[in-house]
Amino acid sequence: MKKTSILSILFLMLMAGTSYAQQTSNYNKNGYKLTFINYDNTLDTALKTRLINTFYKVYPELANAYNKKTLKAVTMIIDTSYKGVAETANGIVTISSRWMHQRPEDIDVVTHEVMHIVQDYGQSTGPGWLTEGIADYARFKFGVNNPAANWSLPAYKATQNYDNSYRVTARFLAWLEKSKPGIVKTFDSKMRDHTFTDDTWKQQTGKTLDELWKDYSANPVV
């Protein structure tokens, strides 16, 4: 009996510890609901607040700019077991607690990830590199703390290509916006409508993707 009691106590302690580790908070503001689930009880409270504030700053702006029909309810998870930096699926943003401890100024990881929710491309036939490039372009345009996080678009290098994705593609898109304002929104809309094709570049600019990249390489000023 004594052995059983000890095991029971240990089980209850384990359950209590698990319950303590998972902290769920719900927020409603300006028509958007955020469920914040935190598995890291060492996460700085001020950092948690900054992540939440970033969501409520950038998500409505991204929705207004790109997709007013985007989800009104989003879940954000601070995960102690996640090995990457962050990922998004089905309206759920998962962020590595390890990354936030290492890079506490990188709160615009939220901006990139919630842009994926706004994109809502589903089973799009468009290129994945463009999806990630648009998300980083959104971070470039709407981010709230990029300089402090030491995050910026990279300088052009001859070894780069448009399909390198993320910031390399984002810089190319920023260059393209100079002569074709609103083209990123057009690409985003066509990706969501599943009407984006390889011909879209020429239809929107008069040049093929390869021709545009050649022009960019010759004068990559953003």
At 124 the pLDDT is 74
Coil, strand or helix: which one is 12?
A: helix
State the Cα–Cα distance between residues 25 and 122, nearest whole angstrom: 28
- pLDDT tier for residue 155 given thresholds of 50, 70 and 90: very high
DSSP string, 84-153: SSEEEETTEEEEEHHHHHH-TT-TTHHHHHHHHHHH---S--S-HHHHHHHHHHHHHHH-SSTTTTT--P
pLDDT reading at 183 higher than 60: yes
175 CB neighbour count, 10 Å cutoff: 20
| Domains with residue ranges and CATH for the chain | 23-120 (1.10.390.10), 123-222 (no CATH)
Q: What pLDDT is stored for residue 21 in this prediction?
A: 64
Bridge partners for 75 per DSSP: 35, 92
pTM of the predicted model, to two decimals?
A: 0.89
Residue 4 has pLDDT above 90, yes or no: no
Average per-residue pLDDT in the chain? 92
CB 97 within 8 A of CB 43: yes
Rama region for 182: left / alpha / beta (φ>0; ψ in -120 to 50; rest): left
